[in-house]
Amino acid sequence: MATVGKTETSDIAVHWKEEGYVQPPAKFVGQANLADPSIADRFSLENFPECFREYADMLSWDQSWHTTLDTSHPPFWKWFVGGKLNACYNCVDRHLPKHKNKAAFIFVPEAETEPTYTLTYQELYVRVNETAAVLRDFCGLKPGDRVTIHMPMILELPITMLACARIGVTHSVVFGGFSGEAAGTRAADSGSTVMIYADAYYRNGKLIDHKASADIAVKTAAAEGVTIDKVLVWRRRDGEDLSNTPMVPGRDFYMEELLKNYRRVKVAPVSVDAEHPLFLMYTSGSTGKPKGCQHRTGGYLAYVTATAKYYQDIHPEDVYWCMADIGWITGHSYIVYGPLSLGATNVLFEGVPNYPDAGRPWRIAEQLDVNIFHTSPTAIRMLRKAGPNEPQKYNYHFKHMTTVGEPIEPESWRWYHEVVGKGEAVIVDTWWQTETGGFLITTKPALDPMKAGSAGPAALGIFPVIFDEAGNEIAAGSGRAGNLGIRNPWPSIMQTILNNDDRFVQQYYAKFCKNPKSTDWRDWPYFASDGAVLAADNYYRILGRVDDVINTAGHRLGTKEIESACLTVPQVAEAAVVPVVDEIKGRVPAIYVALKPGVTDTKQVTEDIIRAVETMIGKIARPKGVHIVADLPKTRSGKIMRRILAAISNRVDTGDVTTLANPEIVEQIRKQVQGDGPVDLQDAPEDIKRFGEQE
Ligand code: PRX
């Protein structure tokens, strides 16, 4: 089990100093959705869980619920029990009477020469219905079935997700940049028999043949015992073959062709139980295998609708742009379900932020008059480095900006605030996770002052806590770091890990459970696997993961998953993966391997290792360095000491190594990585100092 071990004492300085407050602009406060301070009382601990009725009331229910929270089988909480609804109906149909002509999505292709494309709510409704008809009538999918969607950022991705939701099919979207192998493994775990692809897409000016991944995915799933009967392929451009990968007769079908048989078909939304699983989202944890986080329909949709309204301040007339990928939880909650449930106009951007240059996002913002902007610290750092003065060249005005996914250092925060936001926008730094479904820690944009580098206070109805290793609470203002936990359940907490209830309990609840027999939620705090410090003003600063997950550019990579990929190279005897601080991406993985005896062509092995990581996971896991070493540092019981390797890669003091089985190897590796000369030791961030301590 992960620990923060030695770092929970006050002698661990947080990496940057506590900043002063920045007040929200008066113009923002005047129009904010969350401007009434009395709301905090309504969401006080005494009013939990009934306070969340307010969130559920933002949805249209087919049948109302009778119990807000059922705790009879902890920690498998049930929300809005007895209620029935359809997520697609809430995101599409219910907006038609008043807003059918409104843009649901404005698709911005990567190439600036290709025009933007606007999809109204009425058009979304028609396309979702026709797609749902293909899924139901051609594929034979029924409520409760699962399908895997491996698609890039094109309109057909949210259309397909909503079509699944319409017929009660649980979707599992795999990030488009993940490899075919990664998609196939996830499809197999979810028991999907249908996979949905796009033929191709544009990225960094290149046309990517995505259909090629489908063939690999089907093969991978078959090797894991799961047959994919059908692969549906959306064309990036109707009528054009952009992929060179042949279609397999009887298995692969172009959606364009299938849809011809379902024109104008309407599919009634299936009314599902509030607890019906809406989607799966696979994420990395501390084992070699990604876990399928399963999210419910009612509680999830209620929470993301309300949090998009309050914390992102989405009003019907706003133009909202979340620059994340729908393939991650951010895109599910804050591109698709939250904003669409509110009837928002959403920008969907196919490309990367800095192509063809770092002015691209600001040109889009100017052209579409975007006023709410959501991105990650990595994108902010990247855009700042490549074009520090670009934002001021464009005439756009944001009222609100979000950052998410990793800690943002005050310097980047200030550039975001002063240069990107032109000092006019409020910023929310939102802490949450794939597992939590929605924002849990964030400033209330019109009510709380902002503080650079600090995610902020708890969201409404959320009661976080910081525990030391023994499960004692660490008080606000003590300066001591500890494990971030959440005392209470909330509506968008995941239901379970698919096929692995036991792992769900062990991973998130066992560590701080006060009484495993209790059915009182107070005995079951949620363990987030993040380290945090709570300042005297009740603002949380997130220090990073306390397990062996590396947060690269805001994306979770499991070190064990990367190590497993390395071990598929036959010459590799042992592998260890550690995080290295990166100026832009936050952390990136570095690989250390020991080879089997007699292997001499280290250049070839290095290339094979990089290829194995890219094909089994994806290019986002590409390592910063592959170090082929004579041996890995080990304890006397044979455990690899990743902590020491992380210290070497980050130029931090390796500490006492004399108790190792092979202490001499440490200096040898250090010289190999850092060179022979004198080394300036660095003061590393807390997650680097702590990395590997749990082993
Ligand atoms: O370490 C925390 C970091 O991202 C992890 C969750 O990653 P994922 O499930 O991929 O979801 C990312 C988008 C919600 C967390 O355990 N993290 C997330 N938000 C923040 C953050 N770290 C610091 N500040 C944040 N605002």
Q: Provide DSSP, 90-127.
A: HHTGGGHHHHTTSEEEEEE-SSTTSPPEEEEHHHHHHH
The answer to whether 82 and 65 are in contact (CB under 8 A) is: yes
Nearest-atom index, ligand 1, CA of 556: 10
Q: How far is the CA of 542 from the centre of ligand 1 (A)?
A: 9
Neighbours of 442 (CB within 10 A): 28
- Rounded Cα distance between 661 and 664, Å, is 9
Residue 206 CB contacts under 8 Å (≥ 6 apart), including other chains: none
> In the structure encoding, which two tokens stand for residue 277, read together?
């699983």
- Rounded Cα distance between 336 and 294, Å, is 17
Nearest-atom index, ligand 1, CA of 544: 1
Q: How far is the CA of 494 from the centre of ligand 1 (A)?
A: 15
Residue 10 identity: S
Q: How far is the CA of 74 from the centre of ligand 1 (A)?
A: 25
Q: How far is the CA of 265 from the centre of ligand 1 (A)?
A: 41
User: From atom 26 of ligand 1, which residue's Cα is the shortest distance away?
Assistant: 431
By most ligand atoms within 8 Å of CB, the mutation choice from 312, 326, 404 for ligand 1 is: 404
Establish how many alpha carbons lie within 13 A of residue 576's alpha carbon, considering only the half-sphere containing its beta carbon: 24
Q: In 429-526, which ranges are continuous DSSP H helix?
A: 501-508
The structure's pTM equals: 0.94
- Rounded Cα distance between 532 and 470, Å, is 16
Nearest-atom index, ligand 1, CA of 407: 23
Q: What is the pLDDT of residue 665?
A: 95
Residue-wise pLDDT tens digits, 434-479: 999 999 999 999 999 999 999 999 999 999 999 998 999 999 999 8
Q: How far is the CA of 551 from the centre of ligand 1 (A)?
A: 8
Q: How far is the CA of 170 from the centre of ligand 1 (A)?
A: 24
Element (H, E) at 528: strand 526-534
CA nearest to 402, candidates 369, 365, 371: 371
By most ligand atoms within 8 Å of CB, the mutation choice from 374, 376, 542, 690 for ligand 1 is: 542
User: From atom 4 of ligand 1, which residue's Cα is the shortest distance away?
Assistant: 405
- Rounded Cα distance between 353 and 383, Å, is 7
* Burial (Cβ within 10 Å: 0-12, 13-18, ≥19) of residue 448: buried
Nearest-atom index, ligand 1, CA of 430: 26
Q: What is the DSSP letter of 456?
A: B
The answer to whether 247 and 233 are in contact (CB under 8 A) is: yes
Q: How far is the CA of 432 from the centre of ligand 1 (A)?
A: 5
Q: How far is the CA of 404 from the centre of ligand 1 (A)?
A: 7
Element (H, E) at 181: helix 180-190
What φ, ψ does residue 410 adopt, rounded to 5°? -55, -35
Chain mean position to CA 186: 16
Residue-wise pLDDT tens digits, 514-543: 999 999 999 999 999 999 999 999 999 999
- Rounded Cα distance between 647 and 687, Å, is 11
Q: What ranges make up the beta strands (E) of 310-433?
A: 319-322, 345-349, 372-375, 400-404, 426-430
User: From atom 14 of ligand 1, which residue's Cα is the shortest distance away?
Assistant: 433
Those residues of the chain that have pLDDT short of 70 are 1-15, 694-695
Q: How far is the CA of 406 from the centre of ligand 1 (A)?
A: 5
Q: How far is the CA of 147 from the centre of ligand 1 (A)?
A: 26
Nearest-atom index, ligand 1, CA of 542: 23
- Rounded Cα distance between 670 and 75, Å, is 45
Element (H, E) at 27: helix 26-31
Ligand 1 neighbours, Cβ below 6 Å, are 283, 329-330, 404-407, 429-434, 455, 529-530, 542, 544-545, 551, 554-556
Helix 642-649 vs helix 664-674: angle between axes, to the nearest 10 degrees? 30
Q: In 416-535, which ranges are continuous DSSP H helix?
A: 501-508
Element (H, E) at 529: strand 526-534
Cis peptide before 49 (omega within 30 of 0): yes
CA distances from 609 to 239, 435, 563, 570, 623 (A): 39, 31, 10, 10, 9
CA nearest to 100, candidates 126, 127, 128, 121: 121
Residue-wise pLDDT tens digits, 619-650: 999 999 999 999 999 988 888 999 999 999 99
User: From atom 13 of ligand 1, which residue's Cα is the shortest distance away?
Assistant: 405
What's the count of helices (H) and strands (E) in the chain, helices before strands?
22, 32
